[in-house]
Amino acid sequence: MSYRFFTQSAANNGKIMLEGEQARHAIQVMRFDVGDEIILFDGSGTEYEARIDQVEKKQIWLSIENQRVVPRAIDASITLAVALPKGDRQKVLVEKLVELGVERLIPLETNRSVAVANEKVIQRLQKQVVEASKQCGRNRLMRIESGSTIGSISDLLEPSAVKLIADPYRGQPILEISKLCLAEMPIEIVVVIGPEGGFDKDENALSQSLGFQPVRLGPSILRVETAAIAIAAILGVGLESGRPESGEPKSSGAQR
């Protein structure tokens, strides 16, 4: 079994450092010591096979034995703007979106929101992104943006982005939209998902004026995190199935 840890330190002359909470977990919980091998990833797509040279109280120094670019991501960028659910359901939401390759999560502020995305919440979500990435093998971190409203969200998107809004009552089925996206392979797909009370009349009118196309998931009214996970899975699998074979990951030995 390979143990993965997230590092924010840059590689330097074939060496790299692990520190903070990640180092504490490796030292105190996993009991790694000099000579042990672990895998580090930097959040941008690069991972390192490294051997521990020195263990300090809050730092580990390692020699890089191999490094490779393995983004483990789909070609198109999927952004989900989600009215956050309460409590532990946020952790489930983040964990599954990371596993499914979502590029960005934007906490959506709506008139019927039940949770506020303040700075403390954003930091907690970012920590959960790291933990989920360690587990699933993803090397490029999903970004957590600051809270945004429907009115301001367009400023965060690519001008050519495909803009969708989840609606249980109207619009094309998400599978049909997925087929269209597969044919066109857009740079970015953004899906807005409202709170369990739904968007109010003004928010629905605003989304329509901004060009968001309604899409349906099925006959049931889904919880926020269920809708987000289903959308990410359908779009992600569809886009991945249309990607040409890319060959082996780019790999190199340690940089001396």
What Rg, from alpha-carbon coordinates, does the chain have? Answer: 20
Among 83, 137, 127, which Cα is nearest to 105's?
83
Establish if 237 belongs to a structural domain.
yes
Establish if 104 belongs to a structural domain.
yes
Q: Considering only residues 199 and 188, tell me which one the structure prediction assigns the higher pLDDT.
A: 199
| Mean local confidence (pLDDT), 2-26 | 91
pLDDT digits (tens, 9 = 90+) for 134-179: 999 899 999 999 999 999 998 888 788 889 999 988 888 888 877 7
Q: Is the dihedral of CA 83, 88, 89, 93 positive or negative?
A: positive
Q: Which two tokens stand for residue 62?
A: 């390692």
pLDDT band at 247 (very low <50, low <70, confident <90, very high): very low
CB 249 within 8 A of CB 47: no
Per-residue confidence (pLDDT) for residue 246, from 0 to 100: 44
Q: How far apart are CA 106 and CA 100, in angstroms?
A: 16
- 3 state DSSP class of 128: helix
Among 158, 72, 84, which Cα is nearest to 128's?
84
| E strand or H helix at 99 | helix 89-99
Per-residue confidence (pLDDT) for residue 161, from 0 to 100: 87
User: Has residue 82 got a pLDDT over 70?
Assistant: yes
Establish if 252 belongs to a structural domain.
no
Establish if 46 belongs to a structural domain.
yes
pLDDT band at 209 (very low <50, low <70, confident <90, very high): very high
124 and 236 assigned to the same domain: yes
Establish if 246 belongs to a structural domain.
no
pLDDT digits (tens, 9 = 90+) for 90-113: 999 999 999 999 999 999 999 999
User: Has residue 200 got a pLDDT over 90?
Assistant: yes
132 and 167 assigned to the same domain: yes
Establish if 250 belongs to a structural domain.
no
64 and 119 assigned to the same domain: no
pLDDT digits (tens, 9 = 90+) for 215-224: 998 888 899 9
13 and 120 assigned to the same domain: no
Q: Judging by DSSP bridges, how do beta strands 104-107 and 77-82 pair with one another?
A: parallel
84 and 9 assigned to the same domain: no
Give the number of domains in the chain.
2
End-to-end CA distance of the chain: 27
128 and 10 assigned to the same domain: no
65 and 141 assigned to the same domain: no
Per-residue confidence (pLDDT) for residue 239, from 0 to 100: 61
- 3 state DSSP class of 6: strand
Residue 19's domain comprises 4-69
60 and 127 assigned to the same domain: no
29 and 102 assigned to the same domain: no
| Mean local confidence (pLDDT), 14-25 | 93
94 and 213 assigned to the same domain: yes
- Whether the pTM exceeds 0.75: the reply is yes
Average pLDDT, the chain: 87
31 and 132 assigned to the same domain: no
CATH number at residue 160: 3.40.1280.10
